[in-house]
Structure 1
Amino acid sequence: MNLENYFISQFKNAHIGDDGALVGSAVYSKDAFFEDVHFKKEWMSYYQIATKAMMINISDAIAMNAKPKYALLSVAMPKSMTMKEMRELASGFEDTAAKYGIEIIGGDTIGNIKLDITITIISEADKPLRRQGLRKGYLVAHTGKLGRSAKELRRLANLGKIHKSSKFVDIRLRDKFVSKASRYLKCGMDISDGLFSDLGKLSSANRLGFNFYKRIPKRVGCSGEEYEMLFGFDKRDKKALFRVAKLCRTSITIVAQSARKNYKNRCKAHHF
C-alpha cells in the first residue's frame, strides 16, 4: 500500500488532487524540502538549496498554468548556521522569487537540528490546467529528457560530484511552453515523483490507462525530481502543439495513448 496516498485519502474535498489547490481563480501549493530527505548539505551550497526549494514549489504553479504571485517561507535551521550562511540562503530565496515576479510576504523561522524548508506559493490562474481532462484516445507526452536527475542523485549518494548546471540542482521550468500551448493541453502536471508514478496520478484522476508506443526503462520512468511537464492532448492538435514547442525551444516526447484499461505503476514510492 502507498502510505502517502492512503494518508491523503483521509482528506476528502474538491480542492485536493492537482499540483495545487484551486480555490476560485487562486492556486495554493506547498512543498517541503528537508535535509537528509531531499538533500544533504554536502551536495549543495546554501544558495542552491534555497533556489531548488523555491523552484520545486514554483513548478506546481507553472504545471497548473498559474502565475505565481506570493510566497510564504517556513525555515527550520540549525543554531550552528552562521550569519553568512543565512544571508546566502536568503539570497537564494530572493533571487529565485524575483526571477518569477514573486513577493515573499512572510512565514516562520525556528531553530532545529537540521535545515528543513517548506514554502507556500499563492498563484493566479485565468485558465487553470488540471490533471482531469484526459479522454480515451488522447496522446500523452512529456517535455525534455528524463532520467538524468536520478542518475545524478546516485552519483551524489556515492560521494561523487555533479556540475553546477546539473538537472538535480539547476531546474528549468517550462512556463513559456505551458502558457503558449495552454489552448491545446487537456490535462497536465509536473513530473516530480517520476514518469511512471505521475502517470499513475493521471490514470487515477481520469480512470484511464495507457498504450505505450515503446518500452521505457525503469531508470528513466522512475527518475523523480525531473520537473518536466507531463500532459495529454487531442491528436488533432499535434501539429499545432509541436509548432508551439519549437517556438519555445522545448522538446516533446509522445509516450502513450490513453485507453480504457488498468495502469500499474512500476516504481517504488519516493516519500515512504
Structure 2
Amino acid sequence: MDKESYFIRKLVESKITQGIGDDAVVFSNRPLNLHRGKGFCLPSDISSPVYAMDMFWEGVHFKKGWFSNYEISKKAFLINISDILAMNAIPKYALLGISIPKDASKTLLDDLLAGIKKVCTEFNIKIIGGDTICGKELGMAISMIGEARLRPLFRIGAKIGDLIIHTGKVGGSHAELKTLLKTGMKINKKSRFYEPILRTNFIYAISRFAHLGIDISDGINAELNRLSKIHQLYFKLKNSYDKNFQSGEEYEMLFCISPKDYLRVKKLASIHRVNVSCIGKVSRGKNAYRCMCWH
C-alpha cells in the first residue's frame, strides 16, 4: 500500500481540504488568476493574516501507547489552534506536514484522519496543502493561518500596576506527564496533558481591554520570563515557589489587565464558565523564575 497516496486521497475525500493539487495554493482576488487557477487559486478572504506553526512528534511530545492515533492528530491540531486563538484571531486554513511510520497500517492512517477531520470540522478549518513522508516516528508539523480580529492580542503591552491573570487550573499537565513517565500506564483522559481546553469565546471577550495575551505552552514561569524580557519589567508572582507554575502544555490563557477591569473579567469568566486566577502584578524590575525544559 502506498501510504502517502492513500493518506492524501482520504484527506481530500474527507471534504476538509481546499486548493490541494498544485505545487502551492494561491490566494488572489484577481478574476484572471481565479479563472486560470481554477480550484488551486482561492479567493483571498483574509485581510489581516495571522500565521503560526507547531510540531507534535513521537519521542519528543509523546510516547507510543500514551495516545491513540486519533488522539494524536486531534491534539496536534488543537495546540496549533491555541496559538491562533491566543492572538485573538480566527483559525481558517492549515498546511499539514506529516511523518508516517513505515510500518503504519491502514487503520492507523484512518484513525489519524478521523482526528484531523474532527477538529477541522469543529473550527471550520480547511487544509490547503502540505507534505507527507515515511519515517521512523509518527510526527506532525502544522502551519495554521488565521484571520486577525479587530483587536489582536500581542505579547507586549503590559503596564506597571497591571494584574497578571490566567484561566483554568495549571499543574495537571506536568502531574500527568510524571505519572506516565514513572508508571507507563494509560493516560488519564481527564488530564490537561491529554487534551487542551481552548477558551475561544472568553479570549474574544477580554480582547477589548486586555493589555496582552499568551497561551501557556511552556509553563507560567517560562512565559513570564519571556514577558519580562520583552517589557523590561517585573512580572511579580504572589507565590513564586508554586511548582504548578512550571507546568507546560497547559494551553490556558495568560493575560494582563488594568486593576479597574478585574471585576469585568470576573463577570465575563462567570458568563463563559471559565475559572480565572489573579497570580501577580507588574512592577519595575526583572524576573528570572525557575523553569522546566519541556521540549
Task: Indicate the larger mover: 145-154 or 155-164.
Answer: 155-164
Q: Matches of 1:163 and 1:32 in 2, distance apart?
A: 22
Q: Matches of 2:167 and 2:142 in 1, distance apart?
A: 25
Q: CA deviation at 1:166?
A: 2.1
Equivalent of 1:136, from 156, 160, 163?
160
Alignment partner of 1:102 is 2:125: yes
Q: CA deviation at 1:216?
A: 4.1
Amino acid at match of 1:25: S
Aligned partner of 1:34 in structure 2 is: 57
| SS of structure 1 residue aligned to 2:50 | strand
Aligned partner of 1:149 in structure 2 is: 173
Alignment partner of 1:176 is 2:232: no
Amino acid at match of 1:64: M
1:144-195 alpha-carbon deviations (Å, 9 max, x no partner): 0000000001111121233223211121101110011111211010000001
Task: Indicate the larger mover: 93-102 or 143-152.
Answer: 93-102
Q: Could you tell me whether the CA contact under 8 Å between 2:47 and 2:147 is conserved in 1?
A: no
Amino acid at match of 2:249: E
Q: Matches of 2:283 and 2:136 in 1, distance apart?
A: 49
Q: Matches of 1:26 and 1:210 in 2, distance apart?
A: 30
CA distance 1:166–1:268, change in 2 (3 Å): closer
Alignment partner of 1:61 is 2:94: no
CA distance 1:24–1:260, change in 2 (3 Å): farther
Equivalent of 2:217, from 192, 201, 205?
192
Task: Indicate the larger mover: 167-176 or 229-238.
Answer: 167-176
Q: Matches of 2:236 and 2:136 in 1, distance apart?
A: 47
| SS of structure 2 residue aligned to 1:242 | helix
Amino acid at match of 2:148: A
| SS of structure 2 residue aligned to 1:51 | helix
Q: Could you tell me whether the CA contact under 8 Å between 1:77 and 1:110 is conserved in 2?
A: yes
Aligned partner of 2:13 in structure 1 is: none
Q: CA deviation at 1:215?
A: 4.2
Aligned partner of 1:75 in structure 2 is: 98
Amino acid at match of 1:132: I
Give unpaired runs (5+ residues) of structure 2: 1-45
Aligned partner of 1:242 in structure 2 is: 266
CA RMSD of aligned residues (A): 1.3
Aligned partner of 1:8 in structure 2 is: none
| SS of structure 1 residue aligned to 2:55 | strand
Q: How many residue pairs align between the two structures? A: 248
Amino acid at match of 1:211: K
Aligned partner of 1:16 in structure 2 is: none
1:247-272 alpha-carbon deviations (Å, 9 max, x no partner): 0001110111101111012013323x
Amino acid at match of 2:77: M
Aligned partner of 1:18 in structure 2 is: none
Q: Matches of 1:269 and 1:209 in 2, distance apart?
A: 22
Alignment partner of 1:210 is 2:240: no
Structure 1 stretches of at least 4 aligned residues deviating more than 4 Å after TM superposition: none
Rg larger for: 2
Alignment partner of 1:164 is 2:192: no
Amino acid at match of 2:94: A
Q: CA deviation at 1:106?
A: 1.6
| SS of structure 1 residue aligned to 2:88 | coil
| SS of structure 1 residue aligned to 2:211 | strand
Q: Normalized against structure 1, the TM-score is what?
A: 0.88
Q: Could you tell me whether the CA contact under 8 Å between 1:184 and 1:241 is conserved in 2?
A: no
Amino acid at match of 2:112: L
Amino acid at match of 2:260: R
| SS of structure 1 residue aligned to 2:141 | strand
Alignment partner of 1:265 is 2:283: no
Give unpaired runs (5+ residues) of structure 1: 1-22
Q: Could you tell me whether the CA contact under 8 Å between 2:67 and 2:187 is conserved in 1?
A: no
